Chains A and B, each alone.
Chain A
Amino acid sequence: MGRELTSDKVELHEMENDDFSDLELIYHVRDALISVPLGNRDNYDELVGHLHPMQRPTADQVALLVTTLKALSGAVSYIDIVHHEALIYAVSRLSMWNYGTDVMDALLELIISLAASNGKYVDMCLDMLVRNFVPPSYFMKMLKQPCGITRKCEVLSRVHAALKDISDLVPLAPMRLSPIVVQRMPNVFSKEHEIVIFVENMLRLESGAIGEIVGVTMLPALVDRMIELDVEIGWDGNLQDEAKDIFDMELEDVAEPVDDHDNDDMLSKGSLRRKCLQGNLVAEKLDSLMVLTFEHLESCQSSGRLAQVFDVLLTSFQKTVLNAYKSKFTQFVMFYACALDPGECAVKFAMELADMFICKVNPPITRMSAVAYLASYLSRAKFLSAAVVTSILQRLVNWCYEYTMLHDVDMNPLAHQVFYSGCQAIMYMLCFRMRSLMDVPRLKLQLLNMPLEPILKHRLSPLTVCLPTVVEEFLRQAKAARHFTTSESFVFNDVLESDLSRAFGGMDRLDMFFPFDPCLLKKSDGYIHKYFIYWSMVRTTYDSDDVSDEGSGSESENEEAMMMGSYAEKDLDIESVLNRMSITPKNSLKFGNERMPSRIRPSTSPESL
């Protein structure tokens, strides 16, 4: 009897839909909900049935769904979390991506009303919305098509508006949203488009209406995920090759065709080259995320928020990136943020790193890592002025000098790790910047007044402990600049590293850690290269002064001639020249001079340093 009645009611419902007022529908739903604890579930079950997800709903089914949702919105205070579990579950399974805007609006109205009606539902409603950040798997391939793009726009704009509406009604909701978003973040093994679209939403939250509260969690969570991807990228490389290539013309390998013979050698040695990364899914995911972050930073800058966002990133950097064992690319997020604001953020980053190095409270690994970041950053950042570099250099030199005053002892790589890392940082920076500092009289004077000689000639003997490649290059430049000369000859014979450098570097090999070496991720590099100093762009002190015009035609030919010329003057072997300048790795020389000093891409024509 009851059943028949219900079905009659349903027919009546459908036929005379227009005649039922909204209020009557709401009362009907209320009655259905109230009846459940009393044992009468028929109407309730019918309601739940309307919410069942459909693959290709007819217009009638859609209309029924919309009506049901709207009626439920009017009766939220009668929904009970225990008795109406099936209903709540059915609502949570609805994905806005499957329907048109009328269903979306009705569903959101219900979710917002539910969240506002009772504190118990807030987390659940926020979770329902966050689940709509990512479309169902079948929809992913449609994302590139116009209809997919329209749907994406419709869904996401509504979801974010709904989150804002819930925050207006329940002020503590943003606080509860952050952990939900972080928990729902796709892990490193998910598909690329899934992670990318979720991160897009996270960044949208960060810059949105509730960004002030939520943003503090979004960015660090993103950086953490990027680090996780970073460490997943295979780094089974032979570290020896890495040391050799410090002063490489790093990027130019891209211009090479893929089927070079000598690449096999390199690949077999496991050195990390760009070609290695092509097709590496994890690297591509990281690349996409970094590009998203770069674009987000650009939009922050144009809306004037970069300074606050930078502070959040800096804290995250200090907590996660700095101490991550050999983070490869994630740190370029900081680099790019600094590049966008050379006046403030860039200087602040350098100062913070210097402070971390100098602060005695920090553990040695942190200090060594910080100074490695500092050295690499100051060497590679095109946007940093020579004056800033000099002032930071001064701080480092002063610290090292005081250290030598306090520790008048013999060399001991392990005991004075921090000191050696500081010395190496100074030398590395000067390899890149010495010429540009010497070109400015005021800075030249400051540089000449720095107590470099006493530090480097001290009993602690940093010249023997630090990485030989760096020491060699530094000494050559210092000699050419008549900055200082050593009576001893430090001939390393192209020794890549020594036991001593390994000793001070420790297990993490911080002696060979140059975090801002050229980024091997293709898309990210497209953003970074215009702010980046490549070794090939650096004018060293031993370069001939004849070549002053830059940017003419084939940049490389000039440089090549310059290098060849200067070395011919100094009567050095071509092979060793090529070695030292590390245009090509040593092992590929057996194929003759196939690989010429690399062509610099037109887009990377350097301005004078």
Chain B
Amino acid sequence: MEGLKVSDANLVVYVHPSKSNKVPQAVLNELSTLLFTFSEIFDGVMLAYDVNFLEKCAKILSGVHPYLGVKLKATFLLFSPKPNMLLEGKVVKITQDSIHAIVLGFSSAIIADKDIREEFTYRNKHGQDRYTSRLHKRHVIKVGSMIRFEVKSFDEEILHVFGSLKPDATGSIHWLDRNLEGVPQSDRSAKKKRENEGELQIVEQNAMVEEPMKKPKKQRIKEES
């Protein structure tokens, strides 16, 4: 998944004098207040941090309250989705109008119907809302599915992602991973073969063509993280 990065930062945290007998705890408390908020300085939502104190001494700030300036080196895990990045999330609600998903358990994403490609149609089957692909009957998005979608924009205040399912590489991860890497013919049902053999072959070919380009990128991302 894109959008996650690890950053190093040199920080000075100012600790109130009343906490001078438990400085490490105070520093961690201070950093905790930044969790799940978007920081412009780090250009991302802070998800986790790791702290390394550089010195044993802290500089006392002169002023009304003698704050202690503690120097430290911190590593942050940041979430900063940019337009056109691909994110993964779990679907929690499906309506005729939209698909709602949750990314990394805290960020809500919405994909409006105008951003869902024509391939998908909404159906209510046995009381369950779902989007099914017209081209691949097995490609189904329902509540609980993990989907991959493209970022349109990101609301930094409420950490809300506006997504899109227009690109072909988006959809149900379960189906995408299986089918983009090339599944042997024997696995496909005979019924499907009979229905749209011509179309299927074309789509498969496309997938096979795209795949060599995709894999290196995936590997690169894995190496990075």
Residues of A within 8 A of B (CB): 23, 26, 74-77, 113, 116-120, 122, 168-172, 175-176, 361
Q: Is B84 an interface residue (CB 8 A)?
A: no
Q: Is the CB of B157 within 8 A of A119?
A: yes
For the complex, what is the distance from the CA of A85 to the CA of B7, rounded to whole Å? 42
Q: Is the CB of A77 within 8 A of B157?
A: no
Interface string of B136-165 (1 = CB under 8 A from A): 000000000000000000010111100000
Q: Is B82 an interface residue (CB 8 A)?
A: no
For the complex, what is the distance from the CA of A169 to the CA of B98, rounded to whole Å? 13
Q: Is B49 an interface residue (CB 8 A)?
A: no
Of B98, B106, B112, B155, which is within 8 A of A171 by CB? B106
Interface string of B79-100 (1 = CB under 8 A from A): 0000000000000110111101
Known contacts being A118-B110, A171-B105, is A74 close to B97, with CB within 8 Å?
A: yes
Known contacts being A172-B36, A361-B21, is A116 close to B108, with CB within 8 Å?
A: yes
Q: Is B102 an interface residue (CB 8 A)?
A: yes
Q: Is the CB of B112 within 8 A of A77?
A: yes
Which residues of A sit under 8 angstroms from B105, Cβ to Cβ? 171
Q: Is the CB of B159 within 8 A of A119?
A: yes
Of A26, A76, A168, A171, most buried by chain B (CB within 10 Å of CB) is A171
For the complex, what is the distance from the CA of A113 to the CA of B108, rounded to whole Å? 13
Q: Is the CB of A172 within 8 A of B97?
A: no
For the complex, what is the distance from the CA of A470 to the CA of B108, rounded to whole Å? 63
Q: Is the CB of A169 within 8 A of B21?
A: no
Q: Is the CB of A172 within 8 A of B159?
A: yes
A77 to chain B, nearest CB (A): 5
Q: Is the CB of B159 within 8 A of A169?
A: no
Q: Is the CB of A118 within 8 A of B160?
A: yes
Q: CB within 8 Å of A: which of B103-156?
A: 105-108, 110, 112-113, 155
Which residues of B sit under 8 angstroms from A23, Cβ to Cβ? 96
Q: Is the CB of A74 within 8 A of B96?
A: yes
Minimum CB distance partner of A118 in chain B: B160
Which residues of A sit under 8 angstroms from B157, Cβ to Cβ? 119
Of B93, B100, B158, which is within 8 A of A172 by CB? B158
A435 to chain B, nearest CB (A): 42
B89 to chain A, nearest CB (A): 11
For the complex, what is the distance from the CA of A537 to the CA of B112, rounded to whole Å? 71
Known: A169-B100, A171-B107, A176-B158. 15 other contacts (CB 8 A): A26-B96, A26-B97, A74-B97, A76-B97, A113-B97, A117-B110, A118-B155, A118-B160, A119-B158, A120-B158, A168-B92, A169-B102, A170-B108, A171-B105, A172-B107
For the complex, what is the distance from the CA of A30 to the CA of B117, rounded to whole Å? 20
Of B21, B95, B96, B112, most buried by chain A (CB within 10 Å of CB) is B95
Q: Is the CB of B106 within 8 A of A113?
A: no
Minimum CB distance partner of B103 in chain A: A171
Measured as residues with beta carbon below 8 angstroms from the partner, the interface class of chain B is 20 to 34
For the complex, what is the distance from the CA of A26 to the CA of B108, rounded to whole Å? 24
Number of A-B residue pairs having CB atoms within 8 Å of each other in the complex: 57
For the complex, what is the distance from the CA of A170 to the CA of B100, rounded to whole Å? 9
Q: List 22 A-B contacts (CB under 8 A).
A: A23-B96, A74-B97, A75-B97, A77-B113, A113-B97, A116-B93, A116-B110, A117-B98, A117-B110, A119-B108, A119-B157, A119-B159, A120-B155, A120-B158, A169-B100, A170-B108, A170-B158, A171-B106, A172-B106, A172-B158, A175-B36, A361-B21
Which residues of A sit under 8 angstroms from B102, Cβ to Cβ? 169, 171
Q: Is the CB of A74 within 8 A of B95?
A: yes
Of B92, B95, B158, B160, which is within 8 A of A113 by CB? B95
Of A75, A120, A169, A175, which is within 8 A of B108 by CB? A169
For the complex, what is the distance from the CA of A117 to the CA of B99, rounded to whole Å? 10
Q: CB within 8 Å of A: which of B167-187?
A: none
For the complex, what is the distance from the CA of A176 to the CA of B100, rounded to whole Å? 19
Nearest first, the 5 closest Cβ-Cβ pairs linking A and B are A119-B158, A119-B160, A119-B155, A170-B108, A77-B112
Minimum CB distance partner of A23 in chain B: B96
For the complex, what is the distance from the CA of A361 to the CA of B22, rounded to whole Å? 12
A218 to chain B, nearest CB (A): 20
Known contacts being A170-B108, A171-B105, A361-B21, is A122 close to B158, with CB within 8 Å?
A: yes
For the complex, what is the distance from the CA of A76 to the CA of B113, rounded to whole Å? 11
Minimum CB distance partner of B96 in chain A: A74
Which residues of B sit under 8 angstroms from A119, Cβ to Cβ? 108, 155, 157-160
Which residues of A sit under 8 angstroms from B96, Cβ to Cβ? 23, 26, 74
Of B108, B155, B160, most buried by chain A (CB within 10 Å of CB) is B108
Minimum CB distance partner of B155 in chain A: A119
Q: Is the CB of B159 within 8 A of A77?
A: no
Which residues of A sit under 8 angstroms from B98, Cβ to Cβ? 77, 116-117
For the complex, what is the distance from the CA of A117 to the CA of B105, rounded to whole Å? 17
Which residues of B sit under 8 angstroms from A172, Cβ to Cβ? 36, 106-108, 158-159
B38 to chain A, nearest CB (A): 11
B172 to chain A, nearest CB (A): 19
Which residues of B sit under 8 angstroms from A75, Cβ to Cβ? 97
A198 to chain B, nearest CB (A): 26
Q: Is the CB of B97 within 8 A of A77?
A: yes
Which residues of A sit under 8 angstroms from B92, Cβ to Cβ? 168-169
For the complex, what is the distance from the CA of A172 to the CA of B38, rounded to whole Å? 13
Which residues of B sit under 8 angstroms from A113, Cβ to Cβ? 95, 97
Known contacts being A77-B112, A116-B108, A361-B21, is A169 close to B155, with CB within 8 Å?
A: no
A213 to chain B, nearest CB (A): 11
Which residues of B sit under 8 angstroms from A74, Cβ to Cβ? 95-97
For the complex, what is the distance from the CA of A176 to the CA of B21, rounded to whole Å? 33
Which residues of A sit under 8 angstroms from B112, Cβ to Cβ? 77
Minimum CB distance partner of B159 in chain A: A172
Q: Is the CB of B100 within 8 A of A116?
A: yes
For the complex, what is the distance from the CA of A76 to the CA of B97, rounded to whole Å? 8
B165 to chain A, nearest CB (A): 14
For the complex, what is the distance from the CA of A169 to the CA of B160, rounded to whole Å? 11
Which residues of B sit under 8 angstroms from A169, Cβ to Cβ? 92-93, 100, 102, 108
Which residues of A sit under 8 angstroms from B97, Cβ to Cβ? 26, 74-77, 113
Minimum CB distance partner of A76 in chain B: B97
For the complex, what is the distance from the CA of A171 to the CA of B102, rounded to whole Å? 8
B206 to chain A, nearest CB (A): 31
For the complex, what is the distance from the CA of A120 to the CA of B92, rounded to whole Å? 20
For the complex, what is the distance from the CA of A18 to the CA of B113, rounded to whole Å? 26
For the complex, what is the distance from the CA of A168 to the CA of B95, rounded to whole Å? 15
For the complex, what is the distance from the CA of A176 to the CA of B157, rounded to whole Å? 11
For the complex, what is the distance from the CA of A76 to the CA of B36, rounded to whole Å? 27
B188 to chain A, nearest CB (A): 34
For the complex, what is the distance from the CA of A119 to the CA of B160, rounded to whole Å? 6
Minimum CB distance partner of A361 in chain B: B21
Of B96, B106, B113, B160, most buried by chain A (CB within 10 Å of CB) is B160
A75 to chain B, nearest CB (A): 7
Which residues of A sit under 8 angstroms from B159, Cβ to Cβ? 119, 172
For the complex, what is the distance from the CA of A172 to the CA of B106, rounded to whole Å? 6
Q: CB within 8 Å of A: which of B31-57?
A: 36
Which residues of B sit under 8 angstroms from A168, Cβ to Cβ? 92
Minimum CB distance partner of B102 in chain A: A171
For the complex, what is the distance from the CA of A415 to the CA of B159, rounded to whole Å? 55
For the complex, what is the distance from the CA of A96 to the CA of B40, rounded to whole Å? 41
Which residues of B sit under 8 angstroms from A170, Cβ to Cβ? 108, 158, 160
